[in-house]
């Protein structure tokens, strides 16, 4: 409720979405925050993208990675994390990250779990089972989402920030997994053409497919019914986590101030918008087909904001 304060929802007018509609969804959502908290998000998110891209960029080249190169990259990753956790920064950016983590009381574990996921990715080509994918997602998806949720929940007392009094990982997990599964379907074509694969081998085989069949679909060849069934299975997984996320968000919102409540609603709404574009029976599963246009994203954001204001 506004408590009679006419400026209670002023933060909803802050972002200029016409300039940021192609940004990552987490970034769009965090634009409703005050500047110092948004800057903290940007610093943390950038550090996680650096770790993730170090492996993805190398794998997307399509060239085999030698054992010596794997060891070199693993040492680079573990060395970066050790410097961060030991508070012995190697450059100005890492010093800024350390300062940000300490100011906002962000624990180290999300970066450790992300590191574990990237080391797995470095040493494995894809995922042999759905279970191995889920373990990977705990670092690749749940860790960044947990940092976001932490920043939603920190409270300021005087000049200090205090950590949330709820389990941020538990609060972030279902929304993170819903978003990640939708993300994987949306980026199927782009990932395949970049030599990246996030579909579990056991499920691929269960639908009478192999990696060559996935690549063929990404290249625009005929789409076998088995592939449509595979996408339907992943959409079912995504919908399970979507329903769970909705329940968890509803339980978490009362513990957050309005700007952070709205940021979670934006994430949920924008990933739901993508999910709604998945046409199992007739879709071509191209990047263009599965990505909403900037105007469609803008319309969804404003509809979400309007609904949020109406509820308030």
Q: Please spell the DSSP secondary structure of 191-209, one letter per residue.
A: HHHTT---S-HHHHHHTT-
Give the pLDDT confidence score for residue 4 in this predicted structure.
Answer: 36
Residues of the chain by 3-state class (helix, strand, coil), percent to 5: 70, 0, 30
Q: How confident is the model at residue 2 (pLDDT cuts 50, 70, 90)?
A: very low
pTM: 0.91
* Closest listed residue to residue 156, CA positions, set 98, 105, 96: 105
**Averaged pLDDT, 12-26:** 60
Tens-digit pLDDT profile for residues 110-155 = 999 999 999 999 999 889 999 999 999 999 999 999 999 999 999 9
Is 51:114 a contact under the CB 8 Å cutoff?
yes
* Residue 64 confidence class, pLDDT cut points 50, 70, 90: confident
Read off the pLDDT of residues 194-217 as tens digits, 9 standing for 90 and up: 999 999 999 999 999 999 999 999
Res 10: pLDDT: 56
What is d(CA 116, CA 98) in angstroms, rounded to the nearest whole number? 20
CA 11/CA 32 separation, integer angstroms: 6
Residue 22 is predicted with a pLDDT of: 52
Architecture of domain 24-311: Orthogonal Bundle (1.10)
């Amino acid at each position: 409720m506004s408590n009679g304060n006419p400026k209670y929802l002023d933060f909803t007018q802050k972002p200029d979405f016409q300039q940021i509609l192609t940004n990552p969804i987490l970034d769009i959502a965090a634009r409703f925050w005050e500047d110092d908290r948004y800057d903290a998000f940007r610093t943390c998110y950038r550090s996680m993208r650096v770790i993730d891209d170090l492996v993805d960029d190398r794998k997307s080249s399509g060239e085999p990675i030698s054992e010596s190169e794997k060891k070199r990259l693993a040492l680079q990753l573990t060395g970066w994390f050790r410097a961060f956790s030991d508070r012995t920064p190697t450059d100005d950016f890492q010093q800024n990250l350390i300062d940000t983590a300490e100011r906002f009381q962000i624990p180290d574990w999300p970066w450790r779990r992300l590191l574990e996921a990237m080391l797995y990715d470095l040493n494995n080509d894809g995922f042999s089972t759905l279970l191995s994918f889920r373990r990977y997602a705990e670092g690749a998806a749940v860790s960044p989402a947990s940092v976001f949720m932490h920043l939603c929940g920190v409270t300021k007392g005087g000049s200090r920030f205090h950590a949330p009094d709820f389990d941020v990982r538990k609060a972030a997990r279902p929304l993170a997994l819903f978003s990640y599964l939708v993300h994987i379907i949306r980026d199927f074509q782009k990932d395949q053409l970049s030599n990246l694969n996030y579909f579990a081998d056991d499920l691929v085989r269960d639908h009478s497919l192999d990696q060559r069949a996935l690549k063929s679909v990404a290249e625009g060849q005929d789409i076998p019914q088995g592939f449509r069934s595979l996408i339907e299975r992943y959409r079912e997984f995504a919908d399970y986590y979507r329903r769970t996320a909705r329940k968890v968000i509803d339980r978490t919102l009362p513990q957050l101030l309005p700007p952070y409540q709205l940021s979670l609603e934006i994430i949920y709404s924008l990933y739901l918008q993508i999910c709604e574009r998945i046409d199992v029976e007739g879709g071509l599963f191209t990047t263009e087909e599965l990505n909403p246009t900037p105007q469609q994203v803008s319309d969804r954001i404003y509809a979400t904001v309007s609904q949020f204001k109406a509820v308030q």
